[in-house]
Chains A and B, each alone.
Chain A
Amino acid sequence: MVFTAGIDVGTGAVKTVLYAVDGPSTRLISKRCDRVRQRDPLKLAAEAYDQSLEAAGLKRDDIAYCATTGEGESLGFQTGHFYSMTTHARGAIELDPASRAVLDVGALHGRAIRIDERGKVVGYKMTSQCASGSGQFLENIARYLGIAQDEIGVLSQQGASPEKVSGICAVLAETDVINMVSRGISAANILKGIHISMADRLAKLLKSAGTKDGVVMMTGGLALDGGLVAAMRETCVKEKITVEIKSSPDSIYAGAIGAALWGAFRHEKLSMLERKAA
């Protein structure tokens, strides 16, 4: 059995997981998510890693492979780094082996990744430059409306007459929201409208990435937003995309999970090559 670590340095949060891996058997030992909140993400990641190890009764030397993903390549102490699409793909398979696509919606962008049963990326599409399909945008709007982040999903699902917002530009979308507030539209309907707009864009990404059926695992920070998940399901029905949209309580850790598990895979592969060379 070996211990591996996955550290996903995202724009909004740093996610750290520790795994015990014994052949095909994997066990999540610990997980933690630290919001960046204007701190140095790399310093935060190093602290979170050391605290995770301490809580698990482990030392850095006990970790066979420490893998980073996201913006973590500059950390310095990692064994290796994997690109975030690769890790989200593997993380989705760990969360649900039936996953054949990933919708990764983070603070700065969204992307649809088509994967096979091994977690190999076979196609992908990303949102373009604009932030209106991202968690950062949603966070800003919630702040303008005076709503806590964990209320967004619940409120959105109460919206009965959603007002659609611009799906192209965050600036136009924010203008739309200001107009809605002045017209007395309820926060629930505004949030539902934003979720529908985001879901429209994400559904288009899914389609253009070539996803036609199967389980789509939502990952990234917004996978925990029940309002967005519900809007995604409604949009897929409306657009006749016959997929099953899923989310897991651990969806936010998908990148870190994937990094830790690919780390275990690489550790095994490198050990095998060393044995072969000897």
Chain B
Amino acid sequence: MTTLREINERCSALYEDLNFGYAREWKAAKPGRKVVGHMPFYVPREIIHAGGGLPLGIFGGGDQLEVIHGDAYYQSYICRIPRSTIELAVTKRLDFVDGMLFPSICDVVRNLSGMWKVMFPNVYAKYFDVPQNYRDDIGGTFYINELNELREGLGKLAGRRISDDEIRASIVLFNENRRLVREVYAFRAAQPWKAPAADVYLLMRAGMTLAVEEHNRMLREYLDAADKADARKRDNCRIVVTGAFCEQPPLNLVKSIELSGCYIVDDDFLLVNRWEQSDVAVEGDPLANLAHAYLHNSAHTAAKYEDTEKEKGMWLVDSVRKNRAEGVIFACPSFCDPALLERPMLQRVLAEHKIPFVAFKYAENSGQMQPIREQAGTFADSIKLWSVQ
């Protein structure tokens, strides 16, 4: 049986490897295999998989990459992830990647997709436009066309047409992945002392690199091992962390929050594998099923339009209630317009529901954790000592 330590070590190694050794080996193992990168946001990974490709999450350079060339491409008031992504590319760390998808999350990522096309004309690069209208006859029709275009593009890359049956088979595998991811999150919410936030984070990050079949095995092994873990329960408060969804917090930030006396019982660090909130239907037209799941059963984020003010932020209130959280920490990337413009609206909703919150910003390479520890620590103390329960 695989131990928790072995799983954690494997996940850490994948997380730290900015040369993407696993993906390189996967590609080299069989002629014709293609690796398709995507920015840290939802893309229909099923279609990449159905075309025989490996979806590879490109999550920037984290705190281990020194950005030298990347800074020349962006102004100082732009977030860090596009710079470090460029740095990864121009230093040839992504030279094995056959295609790149840029989901329509913000202007910066849109511009990055254009730059990619200019800088790497031989790499398949697509700005993947998702709908902001949630009517089946408008947004749905648009999105099915977009998915068809993606299928054709990836088919050209694979050298063959990607069939409906192949997409259905991939949906089954990714449904399983999403179910297991939900199980891990539910397990952590129930017994957070057995599933430290940093371990869960690394486990989820591994799923952005590994083949889905391998990640599914790893998730099952983790659930088995974590359940048997002999971990001591601490008097920590239970909190939901929100605001990341694209540029990732440094791992030390996740650890610092927990060390400060908070159990993270829900988060939106990686929305890719928690985008569809239940299974995507398998029977029928697979692209229509993916579109339906996107429109009617997907996660809420700052980059997604909310058409009724009444519903604004209610997903966060629901998460607090469902996970028995006592407060919310907004941890948003510096210079991230979507996250930082969304934050005050969500804070207003939390205030209306008398849910305590605190907010701070980070960059993926933030190194100084003392201010974070101070804020998270005093927040935890205020909940533990002064909240009315």
Contacts and interface: CB of A to CB of B under 8 A. Distances in A.
Contacts of A120: 385-386
B234 A80 contact: yes
A80 B235 contact: yes
B381 A86 contact: yes
A122 to B, nearest CB: 11
Interface string B94-105: 000000000000
Interface of A: 65, 73-74, 76-83, 85-86, 120-121, 262, 265-266, 269-270, 273
B118 interface: no
B261 interface: yes
A73 B385 contact: no
Contacts of A86: 377-378, 381, 385
A78 B236 CA distance: 11
21 contacts: A73-B259, A73-B261, A76-B232, A79-B234, A79-B235, A80-B234, A80-B236, A81-B259, A82-B261, A82-B384, A83-B260, A83-B261, A83-B374, A83-B377, A86-B385, A120-B385, A120-B386, A262-B385, A265-B385, A266-B384, A269-B389
A266 B380 CA distance: 13
Nearest to A87: B381
A79 B232 CA distance: 9
B378 A85 contact: yes
B256 to A, nearest CB: 9
Contacts of A269: 389
Interface string B357-389: 000000000000000011001101100111001
Contacts of B374: 83
A273 B389 contact: yes
Interface in B113-164: none
A81 B389 contact: no
B260 A73 contact: yes
Contact of B380 (A77, A78, A83, A85): A83
B360 to A, nearest CB: 15
A41 to B, nearest CB: 15
Contacts of B234: 78-81
Given A80-B235, A83-B373, A269-B389, 8 more contacts: A77-B232, A78-B234, A80-B384, A82-B261, A83-B374, A86-B377, A86-B385, A273-B389
B235 A65 contact: yes
Given A85-B378, A86-B381, A121-B378, A80 B261 contact: yes
A74 B260 CA distance: 10
B381 A83 contact: yes
Interface residues of B, number: 17
Shortest Cβ-Cβ A-B pairs, 10 listed:
A80-B235, A83-B377, A86-B381, A73-B259, A81-B261, A79-B235, A83-B378, A83-B381, A82-B381, A266-B235
Nearest to B378: A83
Interface of B: 232, 234-236, 259-261, 373-374, 377-378, 380-381, 384-386, 389
Contacts of A73: 259-261
Contacts of B389: 269, 273
Contacts of A270: 235
Nearest to B389: A273
A80 B236 CA distance: 6
Contacts of B373: 83
A79 B385 CA distance: 15
Nearest to A82: B381
A79 B374 CA distance: 19
A273 to B, nearest CB: 6
B384 A74 contact: no
Nearest to B376: A83
A96 to B, nearest CB: 20
Contacts of A121: 378
Nearest to A65: B235
A2 to B, nearest CB: 14
Nearest to B235: A80
Contacts of B386: 120
A114 to B, nearest CB: 14
Contacts of A77: 232
Contacts of B384: 80, 82, 266
Contacts of B261: 73, 80-83
A90 to B, nearest CB: 9
Contacts of A82: 261, 377, 381, 384
Nearest to B261: A81
Contacts of B377: 81-83, 86
A85 B373 CA distance: 12
A227 B360 CA distance: 39
A21 B348 CA distance: 41
A266 B383 CA distance: 11
B197 to A, nearest CB: 14
Given A120-B386, A266-B235, A270-B235, A81 B378 contact: no
B262 to A, nearest CB: 10
> Of B259, B261, B373, B385, which is in contact with the most chain A CB atoms at under 10 Å from its CB?
B385
Contacts of B259: 73-74, 81
B320 to A, nearest CB: 18
Contacts of B381: 82-83, 86, 262
> Of A79, A81, A120, A266, which is in contact with the most chain B CB atoms at under 10 Å from its CB?
A81
B373 to A, nearest CB: 8
A69 B381 CA distance: 11
B255 to A, nearest CB: 10
Contacts of B235: 65, 79-80, 266, 270
B180 to A, nearest CB: 30
A79 B380 CA distance: 14
A73 B234 CA distance: 11
